Amino acid sequence: MPRHFLRDDDVSPAEQAALLDLADALKADPLGNKSLAGKTVTAIFEKNSTRTRFSFEVGISQLGGHPVIVDGRSMQLGREETIEDTSRVLSRYVDGIVWRTFAQKRIDSMASVASVPVVNALTDEFHPCQVLTDLMTIRERKGKLAGLTLVYLGDGANNMAHSLLLGGVTAGMHVRVVSPEGFQPDQQVMLDAKHRGTETGGSAAVFTDPYDAVAGADVLVTDTWTSMGQENDGLDRIGPFRALQVNTELLKRAADEAIVLHCLPAHRGWEITDEVLDGPASAVWDEAENRLHAQKALLVWLFEQSGR
């Protein structure tokens, strides 16, 4: 049976730690592992992408594999071929499927019949490759994860908020989400994160006041207020969010050595100021680089786990 990575809690706390160790090792020796030699991995995009697309293509090549990068809108999938039939066919050609799509249930359908590992490269609900990378970046800067307080400010119902809740608590972190009324995390995701916390000592909490939430925090994370696909959803995605901007004044309330993450692309002057994004607390460029290392680790590990 193939192992898939569809959401952050698809790996146990011990497996997540092993993945992060492997990511560090691959960063130290980027061309030393050729375990994808002779293997083909496809990455399919139904939404725009810069980091995910390039980091998967480069990473698969560095591991000796062959990447097949496709705009999903040009596939028969875009003309009503079913996800399941697409998955059955792709499984006959490639050794792994990476997919950026819309609803999580679409990637669940892909994985349900795939005979090769399926990786979530972002859905409306989760962005687990990004959060694996964020954890790698935090550990690089702080030397640990368990016990740290991470505050996410923004749309609490989006993919980053949900993945930070699941992935952060799996790492034993205390994850606080600050979001406006009506943009709060999915109740089931909160319950799943809290459940993970009973195993790891981590915790998940929702805050309304950004200044309360960031007091003494080790890591601040933000993201766009309007995710891909939400451009015309009719909701006010500016007014209620203004108070959540990550700026110098807010950062002063965090711990002295606090770091700031943003998955990018950033909307400078909206969810984050230039001063913070380009300032000393920002770890965003290392974070962007680490997509490459973390995803290479994920592919190597998933193939090992799947006996491929």
Nearer to ligand CP, 16 or 163 (CB): 163
Binding to ligand NVA by residue 23, rule CB under 6 A? no
| Binding track over 207-226 against ligand NVA, x by CB under 6 A | ----------------xx--
Could you tell me which stretch among 55-63, 155-163, 202-210, 252-260 binds ligand NVA (CB under 6 A)?
A: 155-163
Binding status of residue 264 toward ligand CP by CB under 6 A: yes
The CA distance from 126 to 133, in Å, is 14
Q: Is 223 among the residues known to form the active site?
A: yes
Residue 140's Cβ-count burial label (10 Å; 0-12, 13-18, 19+) is middle
Which amino acid would we find at residue 115?
Answer: S
The Cβ of residue 177 has, within 10 Å, a number of other Cβ atoms equal to 30
284-305 helix and 13-28 helix, angle to the nearest 10 degrees = 110
> Which residue is at the shortest CB distance from ligand CP?
52
**Residue 286 host element (H or E):** helix 284-305
> Is-catalytic flag, 100?
yes
Give yes or no for residue 271 binding ligand NVA (CB under 6 A): no
Cα–Cα nearest to 299, from 102, 31, 41:
41
DSSP 8-state code for residue 202: -
Chain residue at closest Cβ approach to ligand NVA: 227
C-alpha distances in angstroms, 234 versus 104, 110, 238?
22, 30, 12
228 near ligand NVA (CB under 6 A): yes
Binding flag, residue 49, ligand CP (CB under 6 A): yes
Placement of tokens 């505050």 in the chain:
151
188 assigned to active site: no
**From candidates 23, 36, 118, 160, binder to ligand NVA by CB under 6 A:** 160
50/69 Cα distance (integer angstroms): 12
Does residue 295 touch ligand NVA according to CB under 6 A? no
Give the residue ranges of the annotated binding site for L-ornithine.
159, 223, 227-228
Catalytic hit among 8, 10, 196, 263: 263
- Asked whether position 149 contacts ligand NVA by CB under 6 A, the answer is no
Report the C-alpha gap between 191 and 203 in whole angstroms: 11
Q: By CB under 6 A, how many residues form the interface with ligand NVA?
A: 10
CA–CA dist 67, 80 (Å, integer): 25
Distance CA 31, CA 48 (A): 28
For residues 13 and 173, give the distance between their C-alpha atoms in angstroms, rounded to a whole number: 11
Q: From the CB of 38, what's the least distance to ligand CP, in Å?
A: 27
Residue 158 in contact with ligand NVA, rule: CB under 6 A: yes
Is 55 a binder of ligand NVA (CB under 6 A)?
no
Interacting residues with ligand NVA (CB under 6 A): 122, 127, 158-160, 223-224, 227-228, 263
Interacting residues with ligand CP (CB under 6 A): 49-52, 122, 130, 263-264
Residues with a known catalytic role: 100, 127, 130, 223, 263, 291
